[in-house]
Structures are given as C-alpha cells and as structure tokens.
Amino acid sequence: MRFQFFAEYRGSLSRAHLCRMMQVSDRGLRASRSGPPSRRQRRDMILLAHIREQHRLSLGRYGRPRMTQELNELGIHVGQRRVARIMRDNGIQVLRSRKFKRTTDSDHSFNIAPNRLNQDFMATAPNRKWAGDITYIRTREGWAYLSVIIDLYSRRVIGWAIGNRMKQGLALRALDMAIALPRPPHGCIHHTDRGAQYCAHEYQKRLRRHKLRPSMSGKGHCFDNSAVESFFKSLKTELIWRNAWQTRRDVEVAVFEYINGFYNPRRRHSALHGK
C-alpha cells in the first residue's frame, strides 16, 4: 500500500522526504517500481480485460451495477466497488444520452381506447401486455421511421419495421411481425399512444381480428408508455447517435443487428432487476 501511494502521489515533497515519512527505503521504492506486479495488480489486469470486453459487448452502456452482474454471471466474483475503481482508473465510462423527442399525431377524429395498462409495465407471463410506438432517425437521404412492439414481460422487441413515412402501414408491419411470431393469447393488452396510425380503422380492425385489447396513453402523458420510450432512448444512445447514417437501408441493417444481436438476447433491463 505504501509503494502504491508513492506511485500515485504527485505532490511537491521530495522522494527522500517521503521515504522517511513513510518509513521505507529508497532501494525498496526503486525495487517496487522495477519489480513484477503484485498478485492484486495481476488480478486487476485480468479483471480489466474482462471489463473492457463487456464494455464493448454492451456498446458502452453498462455502468458499475450491470457490469458487476455480468462479470458475476461469467463466474468472476467481484464487488461493485472494485469494478467502479478499475473502470474509473482506466477511463471506462458509460456513454450518456441526449434529450429524446417524441412525435405523435393525435390531431384526428378516430376513436380513442381507454388506458387499460395504467402505467403497470410488469406482466406475469409472456404475451399478456404489449406496448408499441414510433420514433424517427435522421439519414442523409431523409428521415427513417422505426415502429416497434415490445413484450412487457421480457422487454424483448417482438415486432418492428422501418420506413420513409410515419403512416399506418408502418405500424401494421410491426404488428404483423409481432402477431406472426408468438401467437398472442386472446385478451393480450396492446398499448400505444393516441397517434393516428394506431387509432386508424384498419389497425383497430387487425387488433379485433386477433382478440387484442387496445389501450392508449392519456393525452400528453408520456410516462404512460415509458417502457417503449426507454427502448428508444437505449437504441439512440447505444447505436443511432454514434453514427452519421447515409441511407435508410443502413439504418435498417444496423437496427436489425442491434435488436437481434444485442438487445433481445443480451441486454440487461433495470426494470427486470438487471435480468
């Protein structure tokens, strides 16, 4: 510990003065600097390699708690304080997000469904509660719009579609994907905002055909659909804002890889206690 203090200290005292104060010899200090790393230092170096790898796999998103959980599941038993120290000492930081902007066209004459979800984002089994929304992504050839549907039990994206127009057809493509894969039981709640895409006749007809119960957020209540907002925030922080996108096709390929290669199979969700 004393030699470590010497290595980290950058004050105005001379080395000889510090040696006398800390009761160590100048020869011992030189040996500590030229000798092999200690057992603890070697373990920290191994742990640092694992942290860097998980930092890369998580797209720079995991902070101390999730990083510690990931390492423990890999059989590397370490505490949060040690993980935080190594990340801090080596400049490994969580990438921060920018402000998220919503786009919802609620100025229409379609019927509005009641809020059956009522901000209860937990489900007891798969395909009991779904939530959907649409966001936008800037590319050099114009806006790309992403529609998603998320199963609130697992937080997995079960339906998604990208297009150049934020119309009903985009939302229907995401819905059709979600319906085709898990075959939801009758009575599954389908929650969205009040956008015209979701209130339109064909979309509501599709919900009735598959016995899905429509649910819609209150006007101006962004927290009513915060589960999907959280996904969009993660997507933009971990993928979208890191690149200047040339085409909508580039975005589509990248989103496919993100959802199927990281978000669905690997990402830990704080709402599910890091699972």
* DSSP per-residue codes, 64-90: HHHHHHHHHHTT----HHHHHHHHHHT
- Domains contained in the chain, number: 2
Q: Residue 40 burial by CB count (10 A; 0-12/13-18/19+): exposed, middle or buried?
A: exposed
- Integer Cα distance of 271 and 275 in angstroms: 9
Question: What is residue 209's predicted lDDT score, i.e. its pLDDT?
Answer: 93
78 occurs within a structural domain:
yes
Residue-by-residue pLDDT tens, the chain, 275 positions: 444 554 545 455 565 665 565 555 555 555 555 556 678 878 888 888 888 888 877 767 778 888 888 888 778 888 888 988 888 888 888 765 554 444 554 554 568 899 999 888 899 999 999 999 999 999 999 999 999 999 999 899 999 999 998 889 999 999 999 998 767 788 899 999 988 899 999 999 999 999 999 999 887 666 788 889 889 988 988 889 888 899 999 999 999 999 999 898 876 655 444 44
107: in domain: no
Q: Are residues 147 and 54 in the same domain?
A: no
> Is the domain of 84 the same as that of 197?
no
CB < 8 Å & 24+ apart, contacts of 31-38: 32/3, 32/6, 32/7, 33/7
Task: Give the pLDDT score at 29.
Answer: 52
Q: Same structural domain for residues 47 and 156?
A: no
Domain end residue (candidates: 39, 73, 89): 89
By residue range, what is the domain housing residue 265? 129-272
Nearest to 66 by CA among 97, 40, 99, 92: 92
DSSP state of 25: -
CATH of the domain at 174: 3.30.420.10
The helix (H) or strand (E) run that includes residue 159 is: strand 156-163
User: Quick one: 79 and 156 in the same domain?
Assistant: no
Domain end residue (candidates: 63, 89, 115): 89
CA distance 5 to 2: 5
Amino acid 68: pLDDT: 87
* Residue 21 pLDDT: 55
In a shared domain, residues 181 and 56: no
pLDDT at 101: 46
Two tokens, residue 52:
């860097």
DSSP 206-270: HHHHTT-EEEEPPTT-GGGGHHHHHHHHHHHHHTGGGS----HHHHHHHHHHHIIIIITTT---G
| Residue 49: its H or E element | helix 39-57
In a domain, 9, yes or no: yes
Angle formed at CA 252 by CA 250 and CA 258, multiple of 5 degrees: 105
| 80 and 188 share one domain | no
Q: Judge whether 116 lies within some domain.
A: no
- Residue ending a domain, among 39, 61, 89, is 89
178: left (phi over 0), alpha (psi -120 to 50) or beta: alpha
The pTM score is 0.61
- The one-character DSSP state at 96 is P
